[in-house]
Amino acid sequence: MHDLLDQLSGYFSDIRSRPWHVILTAWCVACIGWIGMLNIPDRYQAAARVYVDSQSLLRPLLSGITVQPNINEQVTIMANTLISRPNLEKVARMTDMDLLAKTPAQMERVIADLNKNLTLKSTGYGDLYTIAYENRNPTLARKVVQALLTIFVENGLGNNRKDITSSQKFIEEQLKDYEIKLETAENDLKNFKIKNAGLMPGEMGQDYFSKISDMQDQMRQTEMELHEAENRRDSYKRQLSGEDPTLLTDAISSSNTPEIDARIESLKKNLDTLRLKYTDQYPDIVATKNLINELEASKKKESKSRKPLSGSGPSTLYQQLNVSLVEATAQAEALKGKLDAYHSQYAQLRGQANRIPEVESEYAQLTRNYDIYKKNYETLLSRGESAKLSGEMQNKTDIVDFKVIDPPRVPLTPSFPNRPLLASIILLGALVCGLALAFLIGQLKPLVRSKKSIEAITDFPLLGIITLIENAQSRTLKHRSRIFQGISLGGLFVVYAGIMTKYLMSAAQ
């Protein structure tokens, strides 16, 4: 530790023994630095602060009714892309900087300078932005900031309206396309139903297999009724074959066949009821018509064959049996025709068995397409109304409000260089350079300062020391030298103080 202190003391003695090296070096370095500082051109920075207010009162009121984009995200993206080449070219045109560029290379330098010196910063809240630009011309700096601020506000308002307009146009085009698709799907579905009438799934509340089962039940029921009608007809024939037609009084022979008339009237009423429900081709209607025609023919035939009242006529029982036979025969024929019609329909249904799955599959596909088109059309229609309302809201109100907190102004003091700070750094650097030079010379040309240094250099023991006694003239010269050293060093600080005073007073004004 003692050796280290001795070594440091030796270094300090080397520097102290060469004060003029320190002072002259400091003066040279300081003068060169300050002259260079004065030659650095001034640069002025213009700045503006703008607040983006996206908290509109209409947004919560119209939530769920209108399309509300993420305004904060859009503003962030717009801010990040503000300093782009198209915008920089627009700024150059707005500030007439493009007039200074005579060639494409010069224009590239203008764009590069704008890109280098333009800054856009956001605060921690994300809603307050600072636009700054630095240039040698303070007026031009303000113009550039004003131009970029204008572009920032216009893009913020214009992009939202442009997005809404584009969305409305796209939705309208899609609505027209889906309207055509929906009409086409409706026509295809209608034509398919007409073409495959009777084969549609669930038609008349029944499917194909239910129709087959019902048709089989109706056929069995009709066969039973036909069998009963044929038995009655055969029974009447057997009874008529053993009856004497001449056992009757004159009173009965004068009858106008009231049984046939009553039967015809009942069948006509039943026919009217059936026509209210079915078409004329329905088997029951056809059978009823045939039965009425047969009864009418039987009535006419009986009227023609009737004998005068004064003579002998057929017996009452014979007439009744004859009418019953005619009715039973007509009913049997009608049921037979009805059964034949059922057999024909059953055969037709059985023949369509292979067609049913194909019809159901195609019908399901057509229905699915129609439902999809209808759902998309209704969704687009709803979205179109929302987009329309959003456009009205954008046009009549300001969803995003740009508030300029600090407008750009022409700067009066340069932002670069900071000459007071730079002058202080130059002074400190000059002193360090002087001390370093004195230390370096001391290492190259060391001086003997102590007994140990002599013994270390000569490797001989020191036998004695002779003290130097200064006379008056030597002391006077040494004193004057120290005065000049102090004046020289003080002059350096006086010059520094003058520089600081000048620029601090300029900044205060």
3-state secondary structure of 362: helix
Between residues 345 and 163, the one the model is more confident about = 345
First-to-last C-alpha distance (Å) of the chain:
55
Share of residues in the chain with pLDDT > 70 (%): 77
pLDDT band of 283, cuts 50, 70, 90: confident
Cis peptide leading into residue 417 (ω within 30°): yes
**pLDDT at residue number 180:** 92
Give the 3-state secondary structure of 40-57. Answer: CCCEEEEEEEEEEECCCC
**pLDDT tens by residue, 451-489:** 776 776 677 777 777 776 777 887 888 888 889 988 999
Say which range, 53-57, 252-256, 265-269, 386-390, has the weakest mean pLDDT. Answer: 252-256
Q: Nearest-CA neighbor of 136 among 102, 105, 100, 104?
A: 100
State the amino acid at position 102 in one-letter form: K
CB 21 within 8 A of CB 445: no
**pLDDT at residue number 246:** 43
Burial 362-399 (b: 16+ CB within 10 A, else e): ebeebeebbeebeebbeebeebbebbbebbebbeeeeb
3-state secondary structure of 366: helix
pTM for the model stands at 0.48
Backbone angles phi, psi at 459, to 5 degrees: 60, 25
Give one DSSP letter per residue of 288-315, joined into a string: HHHHHHHHHHHHHHHHHHPPPTTS----
State the amino acid at position 181 in one-letter form: K
**pLDDT tens by residue, 121-147:** 877 565 788 899 999 899 999 999 999
> What's the mean per-residue pLDDT of the chain?
78
**pLDDT at residue number 306:** 54
What residue ranges do the domains of the chain occupy?
A: 18-40+417-446+466-508, 44-174+398-406, 203-351
Share of residues in the chain with pLDDT > 90 (%): 17
CATH of span 44-174+398-406 = 3.30.70.1130
